[in-house]
Amino acid sequence: MSSDFESYEQDFAVLTAEITGRIGKVPKLVGDDKKQMVANIEKQLEEARELLEQMELEVREIPPQSRGMYSSRMRSYKQEMGKLEADFKRSRIAYSDEVRNELLGDDGNSSENQRAHLLDNTERLERSSRRLEAGYQIAVETEQIGQEMLENLSHDREKIQRARERPLLQAVTLKSPSPLLEASFLSLTSQVSQFSVL
């Protein structure tokens, strides 16, 4: 189940990276190229929404004790999706500003600065996402190591308890002779006493 979730996560990461790259290109395009790019981005955003829905369904199937980690990851993906949609809207507005600047004869330096700022923010976001992913991977590995350590400790505890019980059982066995030994001893003493009578 979690493998399906992780597969959807990978697909979501690839898709959002493609969307981010295309959003950066939107302000530079004009005419039919611009319309085609916008249509492609809208399709990809819809695919990303569907992946989020699939991931949410997978999270609902995960046992409650493990669900918290996946739920927090879902919240971050939803925030990322919201940011992508906002960036897409801004990129379309930047295109409109560029056209307006061309029509009015403005040089468009402010929109160029905004575009550079947007690209810088996008790169920063991608770096942060990679760091979060690396941190998550470390947390998963640490959790697995901890689980293995707990299992080893549990096995060691059982061995120690069995080792403690063994001397106690031997002591009890030595203190109370077995009925067979007792019967043999009695028959031997009776034979010795009969022999001495003779």
CA distances from 67 to 57, 85, 157, 164, 189 (A): 12, 27, 30, 40, 74
The string of pLDDT tens digits covering residues 39-54 is: 899 999 999 999 999 9
Helices 31-61 & 64-104, crossing angle to 10 degrees?
A: 170
Task: Give Cβ neighbours of residue 83 (< 8 Å, ≥ 6 apart).
Answer: 125
Average pLDDT over residues 117-137: 83
Residue 169: is its pLDDT beyond 70?
no
- Of the candidates 148, 33, 19, the residue with the CA atom closest to the CA atom of residue 88: 19
Residue 122: is its pLDDT beyond 90?
no
pTM of the model: 0.47
Residue 10: is its pLDDT beyond 60?
yes
Instruction: For residue 98, name the pLDDT band (cuts at 50, 70, 90).
Output: low
Residue 96 has which token pair? 């409109």
Cα atoms in the 13 Å half-sphere on the side-chain side of 134:
6
